[in-house]
Amino acid sequence: MGEIRVLDPLLVNQIAAGEVVERPASVVKELVENAIDAGATRLRIELERGGIERIEITDDGCGIEPEQISLAVAPHATSKLSRAEDLHSIATMGFRGEALAAITSVSRFSIISRAAGRDIGARLDGEGVEFKAPAPCGAPPGTTITIRNLFFNTPARRKFLRTVQTEYGHVSDLVGRLAMSHPALGFILVHDGATTLDLPPRQSPRQRIIEVLGTELDRELLEVSQDDSMLERGITMWGYIGTPAVARSSARHQHFFINGRFVRDRTIAHALKEGYRGLLDPTRRPLAVLYIEMDPSQVDVNVHPTKAEVRFRETQSIHGLVLTAVRQRLLLADLTPAASMMPMRGEMPWSRDDAPMVATQPTSARAFVEHFRTLDPVQRGFAYQELREALKDEDLGEENIFAQNPAAAGNGAATASEAVRILQVHQSYLVVEDAEGLSIIDQHALHERVMFEELKSRVLAGNLESQRLLMPAVVEVRAEQMDLLESLRPLLDRIGVEAEAMGPRSIAVHAFPSFLFERRVDPVVFLTELFDRAAEEGFSPEDEAALHEVLDMMSCKAAVKAGDRLTQEELLELLRRREEIERGGSCPHGRPTTIRLTLRDLERQFGRR
């Protein structure tokens, strides 16, 4: 080892910069947060070449006193802390006092600031750790900091910067998050002379979110808030979540703010995901903007160099708060997606004149029904109104394609206004008239949800009933899967499976859930898939998510399939059950059970609007 020596101040600051300053966006974050702490109401961020060549941030905050402007770039100099105890109750965006020193150590910089109540401002220029003496200058109230040639004296760091557009993209995303966390402040972002974001001050949170994330989300955002029981603990949560229709492929569209600070937090992300369980495909991530405000002493923001992560003192309380609020809001929402009837790209829209014509007009309602069943989907679309007219005065009994309202099915007293019109298409989809237009139902997806809710209700009341097999079913598994048998036994008991090791790689199934037995589900196929999933995903049998996944499997196996013809009674029962269950708009895997064609869409397609 070499001799121990004190590091050069420039090297000390450059090491600090390595932790704090990763790219231009890191600089913008630190400087904007300082401006927010300074009480700014308007901020202007100007960039050249994505911020690589120049970053200039102007605010109208309280400014810096002339005699303190040199201290602003000194290491670990801050106005935000004075005692060690203050670290346990951080209420400002910045607090360590190393950001400006680290940023200026790897750039050429200037600071112009005029403090509140002063008639003249002060200017400080420098590069690295060398800077000129402060000089008086004219300036508006507030502060302007200009950072040029980022990493000019650390070329190894500079060469790792990405393209101009990539670096600008990181800054744009960051400014959007800062703007959403402080909707009362005005933000202007300028890149290479072009204004790319201009947000006025005093916007409502919803207005700000829509302007940042896109106006197309306006109808897809659901407001969430927690119940009042958490207020006693000094925690409030509110915000907006997206409907399943606007879920994304990654979590980058999830924005969590703790006391105005954007954070990445696994606890909140997990609670959000669980709130959508059964509404989203597992590969999709919900869109969300959530604000949590709490006593600063209850959260530690000093666990990450860039303050991007936090540590809660009551992690489970935060998890339960988010999960409950999200789940309850989704239960109250109509999540049925609207189907688009606009032609796909590359297709030509067709008109009534393009549709095949009906060659002959049937003379009776009974003949019309039979004729209607022979038409292709396009022909049916144009014959539907004529079919309704043909049936309005005649009762066709079992042959009528219009079923009674489930509520009136038992008393035989359904009126015309109570009738629910059901059409089974290709033995896979149900078309039902509702108040807004037409609902198209995937019979397998809906029945799967019904089965899932029934199974969940049963298993919460106790272990599922099982059926003894006359001869045990033998399941062949891999060697590593045999080791899972004992760990999975509590889960198998809950769902009504009795299984024992029969050989080195064989499992004998002696009893199987009555529910699946009645639906003619093969025990070997089911258990093989269960052990495959357990081995690949490594779920814990005690985890509620593991139980839900197995119930998903069971409901999928037990549900009617596409291609199964349903009787009128079965159709009515399925629709009746839809009204009784939670989250009937999606199957347990998150795919929609129902889409809606509104009257407005239909009228637009037929040229009535």
Question: What are the tens digits of pLDDT across the range 484-516?
Answer: 888 889 999 999 999 999 888 899 999 999 989
Quote the pLDDT of residue 202.
95
Residue that is last in its domain, among 297, 312, 332? 332
Instruction: Out of 164-173, 390-399, 425-434, pick the least confident.
Output: 390-399
pTM (two decimals): 0.66
* CA-based torsion, 58, 62, 68, 73: positive or negative: negative
* CA-based torsion, 499, 508, 556, 520: positive or negative: negative
Q: Note whether residue 506 is domain-resident.
A: yes
The Cα-based distances of 539 to 145, 323, 487, 509, 536 in angstroms read 51, 20, 10, 21, 9
Quote the pLDDT of residue 334.
81
Hey, how many other C-beta atoms are within 10 angstroms of the C-beta on 181? 22
Quote the pLDDT of residue 164.
93
Q: Note whether residue 66 is domain-resident.
A: yes
Sheet with 402-403, side-by-side order of all strands: 402-403, 420-425, 429-434, 437-442, 594-598
Residue that is last in its domain, among 161, 182, 199? 199
Q: Note whether residue 301 is domain-resident.
A: yes
* Tokens matching residue 340: 């688009």
> Which whole number is the average pLDDT over 461-468?
92
Same domain, 316 and 382: no
Look up the CATH number of the domain holding residue 301.
3.30.230.10
Same domain, 131 and 82: yes
Same domain, 304 and 217: yes
> Which whole number is the average pLDDT over 415-436?
74
Same domain, 364 and 510: no
Quote the pLDDT of residue 363.
44
Q: Of the candidates 32, 573, 598, 420, which has an alpha carbon nearest to the alpha carbon of residue 262? A: 32
What is the band of 96 on the pLDDT scale with cuts at 50, 70, 90?
very low
* Tokens matching residue 72: 């602003």
Q: Which long-range contacts (CB under 8 A, 24 or more apart) does 216-222 make?
A: 217/242, 217/246, 217/287, 220/245, 220/246, 222/329, 222/330, 222/333
DSSP for residue 115 = -
Same domain, 422 and 316: no
Same domain, 328 and 385: no
Same domain, 324 and 355: no
Q: What residue numbers bound the domain in which 386 lies?
A: 340-395
H/E stretch holding 595 reads: strand 594-598
Q: Of the candidates 345, 306, 317, 164, which has an alpha carbon nearest to the alpha carbon of residue 232? A: 317
Q: Note whether residue 316 is domain-resident.
A: yes
pLDDT reading at 88 higher than 90: no
Q: Note whether residue 124 is domain-resident.
A: yes
Q: Note whether residue 508 is domain-resident.
A: yes
With tokens 């994330």, the residue in question is 213
How many structural domains are present in the chain? 4
CB distance 176 to 199 below 8 Å:
no
Percent of all residues in the chain with a pLDDT value above 70, rounded to a whole number: 77
CB distance 484 to 531 below 8 Å:
yes
The Cα-based distances of 381 to 130, 425, 546 in angstroms read 78, 12, 44
Quote the pLDDT of residue 505.
87
Q: Tell me the one-letter amino acid at 26.
A: S
pLDDT reading at 604 higher than 50: yes
pLDDT reading at 398 higher than 50: no
Distance in angstroms (rounded) separating the CA atoms of residues 478 and 236: 50
Same domain, 217 and 187: no
- As to burial, measured by CB atoms within 10 angstroms (0-12 exposed, 13-18 middle, 19+ buried), residue 299 is buried
CA dihedral 155→158→159→163, nearest 10 degrees, is: -160
> Which whole number is the average pLDDT over 405-413?
38
- For the chain, what is the radius of gyration of the CA atoms? 32
Higher pLDDT, 301 or 95: 301
Quote the pLDDT of residue 403.
44
Look up the CATH number of the domain holding residue 597.
3.30.1540.20
Q: What is the pLDDT of residues 191-227, one digit of tens each?
A: 999 999 999 999 999 999 999 998 889 989 999 988 6
Q: Note whether residue 384 is domain-resident.
A: yes
Q: Of the candidates 356, 385, 360, which has an alpha carbon nearest to the alpha carbon of residue 371? A: 360
Distance in angstroms (rounded) separating the CA atoms of residues 315 and 310: 11
* Tokens matching residue 488: 């999975």
Provide the strand spans (E) within 462-576: 466-476, 498-503, 506-513
pLDDT reading at 45 higher than 60: yes
Same domain, 34 and 159: yes
Mean pLDDT rounded to a whole number for the chain: 81
Higher pLDDT, 246 or 384: 246
Same domain, 595 and 507: yes
Listing DSSP states for 161-203 in one string gives: ---HHHHHHHHHHHHHHHHHH-TTSEEEEEETTEEEEEE-SS-
Q: Note whether residue 4 is domain-resident.
A: no
Q: Which residues contact 210 (CB under 8 A, 6 or more apart)?
A: 217, 218, 221
* Tokens matching residue 486: 């004992």
Number of helices and strands in the chain (H, E): 18, 24
Cα angle: 338, vertex 424, 592; to 5 degrees? 35
Instruction: Out of 78-82, 235-239, 278-282, 355-359, pick the least confident.
Output: 355-359
pLDDT reading at 232 higher than 90: no
Q: What angle do helix axes 164-181 and 205-213 make, rounded to 10 degrees? A: 170
* Tokens matching residue 285: 């991530």
Q: Of the candidates 512, 519, 486, which has an alpha carbon nearest to the alpha carbon of residue 498? A: 512
Same domain, 194 and 212: no
CB distance 307 to 566 below 8 Å:
no
With tokens 């290709």, the residue in question is 426
Quote the pLDDT of residue 9.
65
Same domain, 406 and 286: no
Higher pLDDT, 383 or 546: 546
pLDDT reading at 8 higher than 90: no
500: left (phi over 0), alpha (psi -120 to 50) or beta: beta
Residue that is last in its domain, among 151, 176, 199? 199
